Amino acid sequence: MIDLYTWKTPNGRKISVMLEETGLPYDLKPIDIGHGEQKAPEFLAVSPNGKIPGIVDHDAAGGPLALFESGAILTYLADRHGSLLAPTGPARYLAMSWTYWQVGGLGPMLGQLGFFSRQKEPNQAAIERYSTECGRLLHVLEDRLSASPFLAGDAYSIADIAAYPWTFAARSMLAQALPEDARELPATTAWLDTVGARPAVQRGMAVPA
Ligand SMILES: N[C@@H](CCC(=O)N[C@@H](CS)C(=O)NCC(=O)O)C(=O)O
């Protein structure tokens, strides 16, 4: 059994979507980040950085394995299940490129844009900086999806699972903070529709309820 430590955020939902896609059985352990539960010693033992998501795989080869960082968890679960990431070759490394791009770029930049646009006293320089960078990243995504049905090529992979919850957030709660020309991009819309129609994605995006 896998314990999933998560909350109602895009980074958490990458992993609930992945677990739903693979069908690996999991036990949900909600960590309310609005109440500081991510800094509790029991959770820090799983995720020393004090951020969700985290997992503990009690059936890992060699004994229970605690993992944090969504990109590492997605890679582990794909290898553990044998799906959604090619075992070797170019498709594997393309999926890793787009997964790292999401974890190191799109996610943090949209997160900062959300933070600065929610402040009572707006910092215009910060909003401008993150809005411009998010717009640029969304155009990078659009260019890729104009050339390829999925981020790693012809097959749906962990790269799409990593990018979906944040792109969904960019289209919904963050849309007003984005440059106008990045709000509605056609290849991204088609990809959001395709990925969002998957039953496992719908189930995973509702976790925790
Ligand atoms: N790079 C990390 C980012 C994780 C992250 O930022 N998690 C947020 C929720 S989306 C969190 O736990 N925030 C609580 C905090 O910073 O105290 C990953 O991809 O797993």
Examine the domain organization and report whether 101 and 189 are in the same domain: yes
- pLDDT by residue (tens digit) across 91-119? 999 999 999 999 999 999 999 999 999 99
- pLDDT by residue (tens digit) across 28-45? 999 999 999 999 999 999
| Residue from 4, 23, 70, 17 nearest 204 by CA | 17
HEC string of 6-27 equals ECCCHHHHHHHHHHHHHCCCEE
pTM of the model: 0.97
Nearest atom in ligand 1 to 73's CA = 20
- pLDDT by residue (tens digit) across 187-203? 999 999 999 999 999 99
Arithmetic mean of pLDDT over the chain: 97
Q: Is residue 143 part of a domain?
A: yes
| Residue from 163, 110, 108, 164 nearest 135 by CA | 110
Report the side by side order of strands in the sheet with 26-30: 26-30, 2-6, 54-57, 65-68
Examine the domain organization and report whether 136 and 75 are in the same domain: no
Full domain range(s) for residue 43: 2-84
Q: Is residue 208 part of a domain?
A: no
Which of 58, 84, 110 is at the close of a domain?
84
**What separation in Å is there between the alpha carbon of 121 and the centre of ligand 1?**
24
| Residue from 68, 53, 64 nearest 5 by CA | 53
**What separation in Å is there between the alpha carbon of 69 and the centre of ligand 1?**
8
- Which of 8, 9, 11 maximizes ligand 1 atoms within 8 Å of its Cβ, making it the mutation to test the pocket? 11
